[in-house]
Amino acid sequence: MLNDSPDRALLRVQIRVARTAAEAVEEFLWTLDPGAVGHVVHGEEAELGITLSAAAAAGLQGRLAAFLRQVGCDTAAIVAIAPYEEEDWATAYRQAFAPLCVSDRLVVAPTWWEAPLPPGPIVLRIDPQMAFGTGHHPTTRACLKWLVRRAAAVGSSPGGLIDAGCGAGLLAIAARRLGFAPVVAIDNDPIACATARQNAAANDAAAIAVIDGELASAVLPTVPTLVANLTAGAIVELFPRLAACVTPEGQIYLAGILAKQEQRVAAAIAGHRWRVAERHLSDGWLSLALQAV
> Domains along the chain?
6-94 (3.30.70.120), 128-292 (3.40.50.150)
The angle that helices 170-177 and 138-154 make with each other, rounded to 10 degrees, is: 20
From CA 166, how far away is CA 196, in angstroms rounded?
Answer: 8
Q: What pLDDT, on a 0 to 100 scale, did the predictor assign at position 199?
A: 92
Residue-wise pLDDT for 113-150, tens only, equals 887 887 778 999 887 554 455 566 788 889 999 999 99
Amino acid at 260: K
Residue-wise pLDDT for 12-55, tens only, equals 899 999 988 888 888 888 777 665 677 777 778 888 888 888 88
Q: How crowded is residue 277: how many other Cβ atoms within 10 Å of its Cβ?
A: 13
Q: What pLDDT, on a 0 to 100 scale, did the predictor assign at position 97?
A: 64
Q: What pLDDT, on a 0 to 100 scale, did the predictor assign at position 45?
A: 87
